[in-house]
Amino acid sequence: MIFFESKENKELIRAIQFILGYKTKKPELFKLALLHKSIKSDESNERLEFLGDAILGLIVAKHLFKLYPFKDEGFLTKIRSKIVSRDSLNDVGRKMGLKKLINVKRFKSKSYDSIYGDALEALIGACYLEKGFDFCEKNVIKNIILPYFDLEKLTTQTHNFKSKILEWAQKEKISINFIVEKTSKSSRLSEFKSILKIDGKNVSTGYGKSKKNAEKDASRIACEKLQLG
C-alpha cells in the first residue's frame, strides 16, 4: 500500500523545514503546536509552548555560556532575557510567516500579544519531542538564533519601551499617561487595551493579555512613531 501525504500535510512539512531545517515525519504533532486555544477548549498548543519555553531557555543559555566564556552571570542573563523575551520571539515569529500557519479562531494582529512567540516555542517543543534535545539544539541555533539575532547588537539594545517613552517625556517636559481597559469578557481569553496619550492626544494603542503587556505594546508603537532609537 502506497501512502500519500495530504496537500495540507505537505505544505506544513515544507513550512517546518523552512523554520527548523528538517522534514518532520510527525506533521500531526506540529499541527497541535500551531493550534491556538481559541479553536478548542480541551486541546491547544499550550503544553508544547510550556515545554518549548524551557527547551529554548536551555539552548540559549548553553549557547551564550560557550560564546562568552569570560562574561559574568549578569551579562549572560541579560542577553538571554532579550533573546527569549516575548517581543523578540513575536518579531521572529512574524518574520517566519507564522500568521499563515497558526490555527486561530479570529486573527487580529494586535488581539493576542504573544501568539507568534507562543507558537514558535510550541514548534520548538514539538521538535524536541520528535528528534531529542541534541538535534533540536543544533537546529534551533542554526535556523533561529543565528539568522534572527544579532548578539553584538543585543548587548546594547534596549527592550524596555515603556521606560524609554517615560524618560523621553520627562526630558521633554511632556505629560504622558496610559488608559487601560479590558476588551474581552471571557476570563479564559482576557485581553486588555492600552491607549497612550501624550499631552492629552492619543498617540498609540497597544494590546496584551495583561495591563502591563498592553502598556508595553502601546509604548513600543509610540517609540516607533516618535523614532526613539
27 and 134 belong to one structural domain: yes
Out of 53, 118, 137, 191, pick the active-site residue. Answer: 53
Indicate if 121 belongs to the active site. yes
116 and 48 belong to one structural domain: yes
Query: What does the angle CA 74 – CA 76 – CA 79 come to, to the nearest 5 degrees?
Result: 105
120 and 28 belong to one structural domain: yes
- Name the domain count of the chain: 2
Question: Residues 46-70: pLDDT tens digits?
Answer: 999 999 999 999 999 999 999 989 8
Question: Residues 14-46: pLDDT tens digits?
Answer: 999 999 999 999 999 999 999 988 887 678 899
Out of 49, 87, 118, 121, pick the active-site residue. Answer: 121
Is 2 contained in some domain?
Answer: no
45 and 135 belong to one structural domain: yes
- Among 154, 188, 210, the domain boundary falls at 154
Q: Which domain holds residue 212?
A: 161-226
Band the pLDDT of 220: cuts 50, 70, 90: confident
- CATH code assigned at 136: 1.10.1520.10
138 and 176 belong to one structural domain: no
Is 135 contained in some domain?
Answer: yes
